[in-house]
Amino acid sequence: MTHAIRIGLGYDSHRLGNGGPLRVGGIDVPGEVHAIGHSDADVLLHAITDAILGSVCEADIGRLFPDDDPANKGRDSFDFLAEAIRRLHGKGYSIVNLDCVVLLERPKMAPHIDNMRSQIAEVLQISVDDISIKAKTGEGVGEVGGGAAIAARVVVLVGK
Ligand SMILES: [Zn+2]
């Protein structure tokens, strides 16, 4: 890996079911829905994990932590994130900054975003100023807009 900076892209989505709380960005957000998945189904941590792994051409989250492995059932997604950052550092890179978008109809993310940023910054060993998280609704359109799904998109810049 010859260049001093590299970029990574992460995407994830999960179906939503009735009954809260909704685990996003390491926070249990109170409300009427939860995300369905094998681990804790944290869409934002999964997208960040994949962005970091992708930036240094590591295998994606699904290959590192298969969903048919009982060890990953109900697993805290911070474990996945910690492994991604270990691999990134192992290749001699660290995070410059992260920009994230969470797409969902409800509940409102805004009151929880600063809390998510501090938790994630701690695990990634970066400043909260280096992680941006935005939330957008689907304006009533598609799976997200209809309240059936939650999705996240993340870009990360890493440097030597
Ligand atoms: Zn996921």
| pLDDT digit string, tens, across residues 77-94 | 999 999 999 999 999 999
Query: Does the annotation flag 60 for ligand binding?
Result: yes
pLDDT at 67: 87
Domain residue spans in the chain? Answer: 5-159
Instruction: For ligand 1, an ion, list residues with CB under 5 A.
Output: 12, 46
Cα–Cα distance list, 55 to 26, 84, 105, 145, 150 (Å) = 22, 10, 29, 30, 24
Query: Does the annotation flag 73 for ligand binding?
Result: no
State percent of the chain over pLDDT 90. Answer: 90
- Nearest partner of 45 among 89, 85, 17, 93, judged by Cα: 85
| Own/partner long-range contacts of 126-131 (Cβ < 8 Å, ≥24 apart) | 126/94, 126/95, 126/97, 126/98, 130/95, 130/96, 130/97, 130/98, 131/97, 131/98, 131/100
Domain 5-159 carries which CATH code? Answer: 3.30.1330.50
Ligand 1 centroid–CA 3 distance in Å is 30
Q: CB-side exposure of 146: number of CA atoms within 13 Å?
A: 6
pLDDT tens digits, residue range 26-58? Answer: 999 999 999 999 899 999 999 999 999 999 999
Whole-number Å distance between alpha carbons of 76 and 42: 8
